[in-house]
Amino acid sequence: MTPPIIAAGGVVWRHNIDGDVEILLVHRPRYDDWTLPKGKLEDGEALIACAYRELLEETGLSIKLGPYIGSVEYFVPDGLKQVAYWSASLVGDNSAFHPNEEVDEVQWLTIDSALEKATRDSDRTIIERFRETPYDTSALIMLRHAKALERTEWQGEDEDRPLQIIGQLQAKRMLSIYQVYGIEEIYTSDAVRCLDTVAQMAKALQLTPIITSAVSEYTYKKNREKAIDYAKELIKSNQQIILCSHNPVLPRMMEKLTKKIDFDYPDNKLLPGEAWVLFHDKKEVKHIDRVAAPSV
């Protein structure tokens, strides 16, 4: 059986001068259709990284990704195609478009107009889902550190326990996944395994990590509320933030921050290198995505 074609894209949106939401449709001369920007997954690429790359390549616009919208599937001449979509907000006043081989024209349209303009029913399905998604939100990324040496394999202080080889590889691949969110600040536990998880990503993004013991396991054992209060303060920010910490600290934060929404997080914990992305309006969490650890 022929495997499906895997692709990813997004609903790029902005506020117009009247404050109304507009989304971007692209025209592909090869197919003479109006569609949402998207493209095929490359070998070894994370699906969310594919969505970000394809949006940049097809539109040339500065964007940051928001909540996951969903996926659709349909048949093309080469077989079944499965496409995953994220919301993607325009960053700044960058609205210039330069035609390329795949896309020769773009149009900013209201949601209703885009529903009429779109060629494919599958695009209309995603646009309707986008309308119901809390896309105008900020992201707090609660990241568990990459795979560390087991406690039984380390004879020093637990705070000094380093990453395994696989954890080091995971850390190297964090950037392609999390740069898509337009990260503005990185906060981390003072444990070595957390610092080493975010160090390369922070350097690439030209950010200085903010190191705090408030979200360390050591502090959590003495005062569980300190980490929760710290996370609540970050939620009040309108910035895109990564917070790197530990189990059981992160699950406890999640429990307290998501009381008002129905969210199922299996086993109440993250695996090493995984993250919950909490989309919020500075007051409460509106949507949560789970991001898998980088493939190594």
| Complete domains list, the chain, with CATH | 5-132 (3.90.79.10), 138-291 (3.40.50.1240)
Return the residue matching tokens 């696989």.
166
**What average pLDDT does this structure show over 29-56?**
96
Between CA 268 and CA 78 the distance in angstroms is: 41
Is the model's pLDDT at 263 over the cut of 70? no
What is the predicted pLDDT for the residue at 238? Answer: 85
DSSP 10-72: EEEEEE-TTS-EEEEEEEETTTTEEE--EEEPPTT--HHHHHHHHHHHHH---EEEEEEEEEE
Between CA 280 and CA 139 the distance in angstroms is: 6
Residue 266: cis peptide before it, omega within 30 degrees of 0: no
- What digits encode the pLDDT tens for the residues 80-124? 999 999 999 999 776 677 888 889 999 999 999 999 999 999 999
pLDDT band for 260, please (50, 70, 90 cuts).
confident
- What digits encode the pLDDT tens for the residues 235-244? 998 899 999 9
What residues contact residue 203 under an 8 Å CB cut-off, 6+ apart? none
What is the predicted pLDDT for the residue at 264? Answer: 65
pLDDT band for 265, please (50, 70, 90 cuts).
low
Between CA 143 and CA 11 the distance in angstroms is: 25
Strand, helix or coil for residue 184: coil
What is the predicted pLDDT for the residue at 239? Answer: 94
Is the model's pLDDT at 266 over the cut of 60? no
pTM: 0.94
What is the predicted pLDDT for the residue at 94? Answer: 67
Is the model's pLDDT at 156 over the cut of 70? yes
CA angle 85, 50, 36 (to 5 degrees): 40
- Nearest of 147, 134, 151 to residue 289 by alpha carbon: 134
Both structure tokens of 214: 């408030």
- H-helix or E-strand spanning residue 257: helix 249-257
Is the model's pLDDT at 267 over the cut of 70? no
DSSP 202-239: HHHTT---EEEGGGSHHHHHH-HHHHHHHHHHHHTS-S
What is the predicted pLDDT for the residue at 92? Answer: 78
**What average pLDDT does this structure show over 69-81?**
94
**What average pLDDT does this structure show over 47-60?**
95
- What digits encode the pLDDT tens for the residues 157-182? 999 999 999 999 999 999 999 999 99
Among 83-92, 196-205, 260-269, the least confident range:
260-269
